[in-house]
Amino acid sequence: MPAPGGQGMPSTNQYAGKSPVIAAVLNLFFGLGYLYLGTKKVLGLSTILFIIVALILQILLGIFTVGILSFVFAVLLAVDGWQKAKGSKGFISAE
């Protein structure tokens, strides 16, 4: 019988075995790390559609803010990819 509090339960990290560094670096480039992690949907969009939207968004942000917000967006995606590969939930909804 498992101990109270869920101890002794197997890990449910769907990204087990994936490198956080690779996920973070790939996510710097329009969220490509989500393909590496094997997610099917990101923010309710298919992963491919999310990458296309992220590419367009980063281009527009880069044009209108001299790259500052584009850089911030890329870093946020990278941190989320790192967190997901490490087993944390992250802050961007992905399935």
Could you give the number of structural domains in the chain?
1
| 39, part of any domain | yes
What distances in angstroms separate CA 36 from CA 23, 32, 67, 80, 87, one per listed residue? 7, 7, 25, 13, 15
* Domain-embedded: residue 5: no
Number of CB atoms found within 10 A of residue 62's CB = 16
Per residue of the chain (95 residues), give pLDDT as tens. 555 554 544 456 788 889 999 999 999 999 999 999 999 999 999 999 999 999 999 999 999 999 999 999 999 999 999 999 999 989 999 98
Residue span of the structural domain in which 68 resides: 19-86
Of 68, 32, 38, 78, the C-alpha closest to 51 is: 32
The predicted model scores a pTM of: 0.83
- Answer whether residue 8 is part of any domain: no
